Amino acid sequence: MRHAFKMQLKPGVAAEYKKRHDELWPALAAELKAAGISDYSIFLDEETGTLFAVQKLAPGNTAAALPRSPVVQKWWDAMAPLMEVHPDHSPIATPLKEVFHLD
């Protein structure tokens, strides 16, 4: 199953956002993979600062439990200055409806 969502960067932070993802913590990558997430990409609309993310979720994935992970919470804290976030520093993520797919 594919899951897509959008998030919003704050102005002027795109380069820092990319840098942090280029240096993604190995523990975070391991946590995401262990939760059944793969083929995860994030794209940036440079005109608006909108991020578009898409990921594959394995059957029986545990992605819904990730917000309770200390590694994920620490990542959110580190990323909060760059993005629009909720009070707990989780990104404000709006799910997107798939309207077309071609294999």
Catalytic machinery residues? 21
Contact at 8 Å (CB) between 52 and 6?
yes
Question: What stretches of the chain adopt beta strand conformation (E)?
Answer: 2-8, 37-45, 50-57, 94-95
